[in-house]
Amino acid sequence: MNKLAAMNTPIFWAEGHPGALNRDNWKLEIKGLCDNPVTLNWNQLMELSSTTVNARLTSVTRWSVYGAWTGIALSTLMNLVKMQASCKFLRFWSVGEIYDTSIPVDIALKERSLAAWAFDDEFLSEDYGGPIRALIPYLWGYKSAKSIVRIELMGYYVPGFWELRGYTDSAEIEAGLCRDINDGGALKNIPGGEVVDFI
Ligand SMILES: Nc1nc2c(c(=O)[nH]1)N[C@H]1C(S)=C(S)[C@@H](COP(=O)(O)O)O[C@H]1N2
Ligand SMILES: [Mo]
């Protein structure tokens, strides 16, 4: 069992679980406001320089999980496609293209914003957004779209799946009680902003 599952990390698929996903057939398309749009298959994704960051995924439903996430920095992908200056938001699309969410480009270019494919040295399972997902530790978890098939470089903001259903567009993490998944779901306090640790 993978570590996220072993810790009973909640599994959210608001649009319905996609079922088994095949890494070898996976394609991630990156298009929009860039000079060099690409569609990358799994082998091509694995050939890009990767990074491992210690970071938290923190849900607006008030739980947070910590670990070493490995993936491709979104900044690396933006360099690859030659993002244009007019790009202001990145819009992620999950498999099935029902779930989308968008983040400002300045947050996308921060060092711990990834297209992540592993957690604690294990590939992500479908449950947790494998083969590859957004991991945006700076914002509430609904910005970390799972099993992404497309990243669109946008000049303007479009509210996504959860934003249309009442969650904030900014997804700024707010202080308060939060379950520590790494500690059996114990209730603790988090500060506002990116959760580095509990208080
Ligand atoms: N496609 C898709 N991505 C998604 C979601 C979802 O329902 N569908 N839920 C989001 C929310 S609200 C959170 S908190 C995290 C949860 O990630 P996990 O299911 O891997 O724990 O995924 C985000 N990405
Ligand atoms: Mo969430």
Query: How far, in Å, is the centroid of ligand 2 from the Cα of 118?
Result: 19
Pairing of strands 63-73, 176-180: parallel
> Which atom of ligand 1 is the closest one to the Cα of 98?
1
Total-model pTM: 0.98
**Which residue has a Cα nearest atom 10 of ligand 1?**
142
Burial label for 6, CB within 10 Å (0-12, 13-18, 19+), is exposed
Peptide bond into 131 cis (omega under 30): yes
Q: How far is the centre of ligand 1, averaged over its atoms, from the C-alpha of 152 (Å)?
A: 19
pLDDT per residue of the chain (199 residues) written in tens, 0 to 9: 899 999 999 999 999 999 999 999 999 999 999 999 999 999 999 999 999 999 999 999 999 999 999 999 999 999 999 999 999 999 999 999 999 999 999 999 999 999 999 999 999 999 999 999 999 999 999 999 999 999 999 999 999 999 999 999 999 999 999 999 999 999 999 999 999 999 9
User: Per-domain residue ranges for the chain?
Assistant: 24-156+172-187
Query: What does 115-183 look like in DSSP terms, one character per residue?
Result: EEEEETTEEPPGGGT-S-EEE-TTB-GGGS-SSEEEEEEESS----TTGGGT--SS-B---EEEEEGGG
**Confidence at residue 137, expressed as pLDDT on a 0 to 100 scale:** 98
Classified by CATH at the fold level, domain 24-156+172-187 comes out as Sulfite Oxidase; Chain A, domain 2 (3.90.420)
CA dist 153 and 189 (Å) reads 35
Query: How confident is the model at residue 120, as a pLDDT?
Result: 98
Per-residue pLDDT at 1 = 86
What pLDDT score does 113 carry?
Answer: 98
Q: Which of 3, 8, 11, 12 to mutate to test the pocket of ligand 1 (most atoms within 8 A of CB)?
A: 12
Q: Using the mean position of ligand 2's atoms as its centre, give its distance from the Cα of residue 85 in Å.
A: 30
